[in-house]
Amino acid sequence: MSSTTAGPRLEVTDRPDIESRGWVLNGLAASNRAYVDEPGKRNLAVIIRDHGNGEILGGLLGWTSWEWLRIELLYVAPACRRTGWGTRLVQAAEAEALKRLCRSAWVDSYSFQAPGFYERLGYTIFGTLDDYPAGHRRYFLQRRLIANVEAPLSTNDRA
């Protein structure tokens, strides 16, 4: 007698196929629509290029959605560090975010990277992960781009 198991089964993989990823993302997005509007996600890149040869010397990658700027990655070539380019990258991204009607920005940074840099730019820590990676800390920082803006709570957020 053969044994077959009917019903759902679990698959664990480090390479999800496009169909599976799309199904999860689309299902979550549809579920979220009961609480929030579409995020209106737009990518954002600010790049530093050598004026002469066009070589990339640094950049900031992120996006805007739900009236927030997310700074995902920022890197400046060693030869250009401590010359204000990092600050200019963030300021340019924030200026574009304001044009896109963003009210706030957030970023994460590791203890061995630049949390102090973001704090000097007015970002404040709102969360940490200790020992991630081992022996270090991951910081989550935010900054209001428009002063005196309070985000209204939806009826679902009021408890």
Q: What is the span of the domain harbouring residue 117?
A: 41-144
Buried b (16+ CB within 10 A) or exposed e, 74-88: bebeeeeeeeebbee
Residue 64 lies in a domain: yes
Which three-class secondary structure state does DSSP give residue 80? helix
Q: What's the DSSP call for residue 16?
A: -
Q: Tally the domains of the chain.
A: 1
Per residue of the chain (159 residues), give pLDDT as tens: 555 678 999 999 999 999 999 999 999 999 999 999 888 999 999 999 999 999 999 999 999 999 999 999 999 999 999 999 999 999 999 999 999 999 999 999 999 999 999 999 999 999 999 999 999 999 999 999 997 656 555 445 444
Residue 13 lies in a domain: no
pTM of this structure = 0.83
Residue 63 lies in a domain: yes
Residue 25 lies in a domain: no
CA 127 – CA 105 distance, rounded (Å): 14
In the sheet that 68-76 helps form, which strands lie side by side, from edge to edge? 42-49, 56-65, 68-76, 104-110, 137-144, 124-130
Element containing residue 22 per DSSP (H, E): helix 18-32
